[in-house]
Amino acid sequence: MNTSEFRRRGKEMVDYVANYMEGIEGRQVYPDVEPGYLRPLIPATAPQEPDTFEDIINDVEKIIMPGVTHWHSPYFFAYFPTASSYPAMLADMLCGAIGCIGFSWAASPACTELETVMMDWLGKMLELPKAFLAEKAGEGGGVIQGSASEATLVALLAARTKVIHRLQAASPELTQAAIMEKLVAYSSDQAHSSVERAGLIGGVKLKAIPSDGNFAMRASALQEALERDKAAGLIPFFVVATLGTTTCCSFDSLLEVGPICNKEDMWLHVDAAYAGSAFICPEFRHLLNGVEFADSFNFNPHKWLLVNFDCSAMWSRQLVRMLRLRKTCLVSAVVRRS
144 in any annotated domain: yes
Q: Supply the CATH number for residue 293's domain.
A: 3.40.640.10
63 vs 59: CA distance, rounded Å: 5
Q: In this predicted structure, what is the pLDDT of residue 319? A: 62
Residue 116 sits in the same domain as residue 188: yes
Domain boundary among 78, 93, 125: 78
| 143, 236: one domain | yes
- Examine residue 95 and state whether it is found in any structural domain, yes or no: no
Distance CA 88, CA 20 (A): 16
pLDDT the model gives residue 274: 87
Which domain-ending residue is among 61, 78, 95?
A: 78
DSSP letters spanning 177-226: HHHHTTEEEEEETTS-HHHHHHHHHHT-EEEEEPP-TTS---HHHHHHHH
Q: Both 61 and 144 in a single domain? A: no
Assigned domain for 317 exists: yes
Residues 73 and 198 in one domain: no
Count: domains in the chain: 2
For residues 159 and 18, state if they share a domain: no
Query: Quick one: pLDDT at residue 57?
Result: 94
**117 and 32 in one domain?**
no
Decide if 129 is inside a domain.
yes
Within a domain: residue 33?
yes
| pLDDT at residue number 331 | 55
Q: Alpha carbon 198 to chain centroid distance?
A: 12
- Mean pLDDT per 10-residue section of the chain, whose length is 338 residues: 93 95 93 94 92 93 94 86 84 89 87 91 94 83 90 93 93 91 93 87 91 90 93 94 90 93 94 92 94 94 84 84 57 52
Q: Give the model's pLDDT for residue 323.
A: 59
How far is 246 from 288, CA to CA, in rounded Å? Answer: 17
Same domain membership, residue 111 and residue 32: no
Q: For residue 286, is it within any domain?
A: yes
Decide if 181 contacts 198 (C-beta within 8 A).
no
Q: Are residues 47 and 184 in the same domain?
A: no
**pTM confidence score:** 0.85
Q: Residue 242's beta-bridge partner residues? A: 271
Q: Are residues 181 and 260 in the same domain?
A: yes
**Domain for residue 89, yes or no?**
no
Backbone phi, psi, residue 185, to 5°:
-115, 165
User: Distance between CA atoms of 312 and 148, rounded to whole angstroms?
Assistant: 6
Q: Are 329 and 158 in contact (CB under 8 A)?
A: yes
Domain-terminating residue out of 62, 78, 94: 78
* Single-letter amino acid, residue 265: D
Instruction: Supply the CATH number for residue 8's domain.
Output: 1.20.1340.10
Q: Which of 282, 218, 220, 271 has its CA nearest to residue 245?
A: 271
Cα–Cα distance for residue pair 213/211, rounded to 1 Å: 7
Per the structure, the complete domain to which residue 62 belongs is given by: 3-78
Same domain, 119 and 211: yes
245 contacts 270 by C-beta, under 8 angstroms: no
Residue-wise pLDDT for 58-105, tens only, equals 999 999 999 999 998 989 888 777 778 889 899 989 988 998 888 888
pLDDT for the residue numbered 302 = 86
Q: Specify whether the CB–CB gap between 314 and 296 falls below 8 A.
A: yes
Query: What does the longest C-alpha to C-alpha distance in the chain come to?
Result: 72
Q: Does residue 54 sit in the same domain as residue 112?
A: no
Cis peptide bond upstream of 59, omega within 30: no
Same domain, 270 and 173: yes
The answer to whether residue 191 is domain-embedded is yes
